[in-house]
């Protein structure tokens, strides 16, 4: 472990070095972020998952920086130019940009105008002029005229010398830093429509003639302009006022007003227009792209977290319907564990006879399978199917709930779905997914690539590796926060449990299938390849309901069982009695159980868990209904006040499903009666809201909504 990295990270994150060092050591040993945050609080000083992940990510960045540093030092050494002073600068470079600036003059490059001028022997002339000590450039240039070398006259010699000076200016570290500052603080994004693309690129109409400061441009607009450029509809440029950029360079390199200074001025101007401005524009475009991507990924990740932690219905007998018009509605019946009991197809949108048959069939299925809840997908024909079901006169005890089916079709065609339902087609699998998603959103959604769930903006425009890493972190965090019932969890769900992964998850399922349900957490050690390290990382997040040991159903880690058993022994009771009796727990003096490894943070966590062992941290489920009679966009009128569900939160506002197959947009300015800087401060995915219709554009299929005056 590099002590310099520890110091850097501690300073950047505002932590003490002990916290960073302990966290880095745990990460180096293979510990996961959820495990470190939940079960190693004494070591880290109670750092949460966000801080632990930040340390992990920064460590990775610094290691990558060191790899690049080593490659540069090797290259400089092979070139024979590595002096002590240059070595010290490379070693001291704190960022990749600084490192590359130092290396730039020595980087192997293609044959440039400056290279050609050096081949003509003009570098001494360039040095003389660049020194600006009063030399006569024309007279000096005449000494370098040599037709055999390609220098026909003094003007050609001066041109070559200026080319060399321009390259020096371009490779000057201070000059590049100054230009970066000007581009980032004074630069402007400009976009214009490509001639002849006005109609085809209509979705980018807002950017047909757009200007915006680089320093304040929000992520979604940066990504939108880049997408327009990539798709061939927009010209996209980034530049500061030329006179300011040029003036800054001249002030750095031009000394006085003599003829030699005039030559340097010409070289500087050429450098700016031909080399430096283009180079720094590319850099700044990449830097703003990275910032925009980071913000887009952050928003996507937070939306995904809210979706995964949506309230679960729990164990109920569910009849799930995947709606459709011409092809009918696929109906499945699931038991309280989500097992498929029956599947069928109804046609409520066809003839009166087909509608009557559908009604009779649904009533019969509800009675036969003791249905408690009907789940209806919110896709095509969803609202029409919901209206049909609500008109059946079913018992009031049977709730009807619309379910967001985004990604269900992805799951139904997946290898996992085929493996679970090899004898059923994708329509049955899709309906099962809709029903299970209502019962436990987290358990079902982990089976789908997070990018397919539809809660992001510009997700295909951002760095896909960074996006995957962030979304995987969110899924892992949510799964381990909720905990997993090991005897019923799917392989996909177990994959995200701390310390497991795909292979160990598969091994656990195969062991469970071969040997029956696990009776105790300790039995996990019998699963092939689940060694002590994997058991340590995973055990606390796995639950075994009705296990012999009461703590096996809780988030108390097995390593802490002796502490709880000691508490019970001191009180003269069993662990089960300690879990059931709050009065007994109230008598415990936690300070008596503090040891070198177990401190008050862990003991407080244990006490909280004993009070509600295995408690699901998600909010309790509440049924939701859209407004009656509002089923398509033509039903929506300006001024209506409607119930809705937030489906996506973006930097510019929130999208709300009001039940018409087209989400409406609540612009950030309409989210509240106060100024809103970040929509996530006001709304979250899955939140039930009341909205007022501001505008309906049927032709463009757009609905504008407001949450003001709620």
Domain membership flag for residue 495:
no
pTM: 0.88
Q: What percent of the chain has pLDDT over 70?
A: 100
233 shares a domain with 120: yes
Q: Which pLDDT value is given to residue 505?
A: 96
Domain membership flag for residue 499:
no
CATH number, domain of 96, equals 1.10.10.650
What is the count of structural domains for the chain?
4
Which residues lie across from 223 on neighbouring strands?
Answer: none
| Domain that residue 365 falls in | 318-439
Domain membership flag for residue 230:
yes
Helices (H) and strands (E) in the chain, counts: 30, 15
201 shares a domain with 276: yes
Domain membership flag for residue 449:
no
Q: Which pLDDT value is given to residue 574?
A: 94
Q: Which pLDDT value is given to residue 79?
A: 94
Can you tell me the mean pLDDT for 231-237? 94
Q: Count the neighbouring beta carbons within 10 Å of the beta carbon of residue 267.
A: 27
Q: Which pLDDT value is given to residue 455?
A: 72
Q: Name the residue among 603, 575, 601, 610 with its Cα closest to residue 589.
A: 603
| Residues 6 or more apart in contact with residue 592 via CB below 8 angstroms | 570
92 shares a domain with 120: no
CATH number, domain of 376, equals 3.30.420.140
Last residue of a domain, one of 301, 330, 345: 301
Q: Please write the tens of the pLDDT for every residue from 107-145.
A: 988 899 999 999 999 999 999 999 999 999 999 999 999
Last residue of a domain, one of 413, 439, 465: 439
390 shares a domain with 337: yes
Do residues 440 and 478 lie in contact, with contact meaning Cβ atoms separated by under 8 Å?
no
Per DSSP, helices labelled H in 491-560 are: 491-495, 502-515, 532-538
- d(CA 686, CA 307) in angstroms, rounded, equals 6
- d(CA 576, CA 557) in angstroms, rounded, equals 16
Sign of torsion over alpha carbons 635, 638, 642, 648: positive
Can you tell me the mean pLDDT for 159-167? 97
Domain membership flag for residue 585:
no
Can you tell me the mean pLDDT for 683-700? 91
639 shares a domain with 676: yes
Q: Please write the tens of the pLDDT for every residue from 622-668.
A: 888 899 888 889 999 999 999 999 999 988 999 999 998 889 999 99
DSSP symbols for 594-614? --SS--HHHHHHHHHHHHSTT
Q: Which pLDDT value is given to residue 628?
A: 87
CATH number, domain of 670, equals 2.40.50.140
- d(CA 654, CA 676) in angstroms, rounded, equals 12
710 pLDDT band, cuts 50/70/90, is low
CATH number, domain of 173, equals 1.10.3500.10
Domain membership flag for residue 484:
no
Structure tokens that stand for 279 in this block = 């180079």
347 shares a domain with 205: no
Q: Please write the tens of the pLDDT for every residue from 2-46.
A: 788 999 999 999 999 999 999 999 999 999 999 999 999 999 999
- d(CA 585, CA 588) in angstroms, rounded, equals 6
The three-class DSSP label of residue 193 is: strand
Sign of torsion over alpha carbons 170, 174, 179, 184: positive
Q: Please write the tens of the pLDDT for every residue from 179-190.
A: 999 999 999 999
Q: Please write the tens of the pLDDT for every residue from 599-623.
A: 999 999 999 999 988 788 888 888 8
Mean pLDDT across the chain:
93
- What string of H, E and C letters represents the secondary structure of 105-136? HHCCCCCCHHHHHHHCCCHHHHHHHHHCCCCC
459 pLDDT band, cuts 50/70/90, is confident
274 shares a domain with 206: yes
285 shares a domain with 160: yes
Reply yes or no on whether the pLDDT at 671 is more than 70.
yes
Domain membership flag for residue 405:
yes
Q: Please write the tens of the pLDDT for every residue from 408-443.
A: 778 888 888 898 899 998 999 999 999 999 999 999
12 shares a domain with 92: yes
1 pLDDT band, cuts 50/70/90, is low
Last residue of a domain, one of 106, 141, 171: 106
Report the Cα 558 to chain-centroid distance in Å.
33
Domain membership flag for residue 198:
yes
Do residues 579 and 550 lie in contact, with contact meaning Cβ atoms separated by under 8 Å?
yes
Q: Which pLDDT value is given to residue 456?
A: 73
120 shares a domain with 26: no
158 shares a domain with 40: no
701 pLDDT band, cuts 50/70/90, is confident
520 pLDDT band, cuts 50/70/90, is very high
158 shares a domain with 61: no
């Amino acid at each position: 472990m590099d002590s310099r990295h520890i110091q850097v990270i501690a300073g950047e994150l505002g932590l003490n070095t002990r916290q960073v060092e302990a966290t880095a050591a745990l990460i180096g040993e293979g510990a996961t972020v959820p495990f470190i945050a939940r079960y190693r609080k004494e070591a880290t000083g109670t750092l949460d998952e966000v801080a632990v992940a930040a340390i992990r990510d920064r460590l990775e960045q610094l290691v990558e920086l060191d790899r690049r540093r080593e490659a540069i030092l090797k290259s400089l050494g092979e070139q024979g130019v590595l002096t002590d002073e240059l070595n010290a600068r490379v070693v001291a470079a704190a960022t990749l940009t600084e490192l590359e600036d130092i290396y730039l003059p020595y980087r192997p490059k293609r044959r440039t105008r400056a290279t050609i001028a050096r081949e003509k022997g003009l570098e001494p002339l360039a040095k003389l002029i660049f020194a600006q000590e009063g030399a006569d450039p024309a007279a000096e240039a005449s000494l370098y005229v040599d037709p055999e070398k390609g220098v026909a006259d003094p003007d050609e010699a001066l041109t070559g010398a200026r080319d060399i000076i321009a390259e020096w200016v371009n490779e000057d570290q201070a000059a590049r830093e100054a230009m970066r500052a000007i581009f980032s603080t004074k630069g402007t994004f400009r976009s214009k429509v490509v001639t002849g693309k006005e109609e085809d690129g209509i979705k980018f109409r807002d950017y047909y003639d757009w200007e915006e400061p680089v320093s304040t441009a929000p992520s979604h607009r940066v990504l939108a302009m880049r997408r327009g450029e990539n798709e061939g509809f927009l010209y996209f440029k980034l530049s500061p006022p030329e006179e300011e950029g040029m003036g800054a360079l001249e002030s750095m390199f031009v000394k006085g007003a003599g003829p030699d200074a005039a030559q340097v001025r010409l070289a500087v101007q050429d450098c700016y227009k031909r080399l430096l401005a283009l180079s720094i524009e590319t850099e700044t475009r990449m830097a703003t792209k990275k910032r925009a991507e980071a913000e887009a990924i952050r928003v996507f990740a937070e939306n995904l977290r809210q979706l995964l932690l949506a309230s679960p219905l729990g164990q109920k007998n569910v009849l799930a319907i995947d709606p459709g018009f011409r092809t009918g509605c696929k109906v499945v019946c699931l038991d309280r564990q989500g097992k498929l009991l029956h599947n069928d197809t109804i046609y409520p949108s066809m003839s009166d006879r087909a509608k009557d048959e559908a009604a009779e069939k649904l009533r019969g299925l509800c009675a036969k399978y003791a249905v408690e809840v009907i789940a209806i997908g919110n896709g095509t024909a969803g609202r029409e199917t919901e209206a049909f079901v609500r008109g059946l006169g079913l018992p009031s005890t049977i709730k009807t709930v619309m379910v967001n089916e985004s990604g269900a079709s992805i799951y139904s065609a997946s290898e996992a779905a085929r493996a679970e339902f090899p004898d059923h087609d994708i329509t049955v699998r899709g309906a099962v997914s809709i029903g299970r998603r209502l019962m436990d959103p987290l358990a079902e959604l982990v089976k789908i690539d997070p990018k397919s769930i539809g809660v992001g903006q510009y997700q295909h425009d951002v760095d896909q590796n960074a996006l995957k890493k962030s979304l995987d972190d969110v899924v892992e965090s949510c799964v381990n926060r909720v905990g997993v019932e090991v005897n019923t969890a799917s392989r996909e769900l177990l994959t995200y449990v701390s310390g497991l992964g795909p292979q160990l998850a598969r091994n656990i399922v195969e062991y469970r299938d071969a040997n029956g349900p696990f009776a105790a957490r300790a039995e996990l050690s019998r699963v092939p390849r689940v060694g002590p390290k994997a058991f340590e990382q995973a055990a606390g997040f796995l639950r075994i309901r009705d296990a012999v040991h009461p703590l096996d159903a809780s988030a108390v880690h097995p390593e802490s069982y002796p502490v709880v058993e000691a508490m019970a022994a001191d009180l003269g009771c069993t662990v089960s009695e300690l879990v059931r009796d709050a009065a007994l727990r109230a008598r415990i003096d936690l300070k008596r159980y503090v040891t070198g490894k177990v401190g008050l943070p862990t003991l407080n966590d244990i006490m909280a868990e004993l009070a509600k062992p295995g408690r699901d941290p998600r909010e309790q489920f509440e049924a939701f209904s859209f407004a009656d009679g509002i089923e398509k966009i033509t039903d929506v009128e300006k001024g209506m006040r409607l119930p809705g569900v937030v489906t996506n939160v973006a930097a510019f506002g929130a999208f709300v499903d009001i039940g018409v197959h087209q989400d409406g947009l609540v612009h950030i300015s309409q989210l509240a009666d106060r100024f809103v800087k970040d929509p996530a401060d006001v709304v979250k995915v899955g939140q039930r809201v009341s909205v007022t219709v501001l505008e309906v554009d049927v032709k463009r299929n757009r609905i504008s909504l407001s949450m003001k005056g709620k």
